Amino acid sequence: MKPGILGIGDALPPRVVTNADLVGELDTSDEWIVRRTGIRERHWLQGDETLADLATSACAAALRDAGKEPGDVDHVIIATITPDQLTPGLAPAVAAKLGAEHAGVVDLNAACAGFLYGLDHAAALVESGRARHVLVVGAEALSRITDHEDRSTAVLFGDGAGAALVGPISEGVGIAGFEFGYDAELAPLLYAERERPLLRMAGQEVYRHAVARMTEASERLLERLGLDATSIDYFVPHQANARIVIAVADALDVPHERVSFNVELTANTSAASIPLGLAAAQRDGRLPAGALVAMVAFGAGFVWGAGVSSWKDGAAIDKRGKAQKVKTRST
Ligand SMILES: CC(C)(COP(=O)(O)OP(=O)(O)OC[C@H]1O[C@@H](n2cnc3c(N)ncnc32)[C@H](O)[C@@H]1OP(=O)(O)O)[C@@H](O)C(=O)NCCC(=O)NCCS
Distance CA 174, CA 123 (A): 9
Same domain flag for 160 and 182 = no
Nearest CA to ligand 1 atom 26: 28
Instruction: Provide the number of structural domains found in the chain.
Output: 2
Protein residue closest via CA to atom 4 of ligand 1: 203
pLDDT tens readout for residues 72-124: 999 999 999 999 999 999 999 999 999 999 999 999 999 999 999 999 999 99
Q: How far is the CA of 152 from the centre of ligand 1 (A)?
A: 5
- Strands 159-169 and 75-79 come out as unpaired
Question: Annotated catalytic sites, by residue?
Answer: 112, 238, 268
Mean pLDDT (whole number) for 281-290: 94
Atom of ligand 1 nearest to the CA of 155: 23
Q: Which of 116, 134, 169 is the last residue of a domain?
A: 169
Nearest protein Cα to ligand 1, atom 25: 28
pLDDT per position as a tens digit, 166-213: 999 988 899 999 999 999 999 999 999 999 999 999 999 999 999 999
CATH number at residue 107: 3.40.47.10
| Residue numbers of the domain that contains 220 | 175-325
User: Which of 151, 169, 187 is where one domain is finished?
Assistant: 169
CA separation, residue 140 to residues 6, 111, 137, 228, 272 (Å): 22, 10, 10, 32, 6
What is the CA angle 103-104-106, rounded to 5?
Answer: 130
pTM of the model: 0.96
For ligand 1, residues with CB inside 6 Å are 28, 32-33, 36-37, 112, 151-152, 155, 190, 203-204, 206-207, 210, 240-241, 244, 268, 298-299
Do 248 and 143 share a structural domain? no
Domain termination residue (choose one: 169, 193, 211): 169
Residue ID of nearest Cα to ligand 1 atom 36: 203
First to last CA, the chain: 12
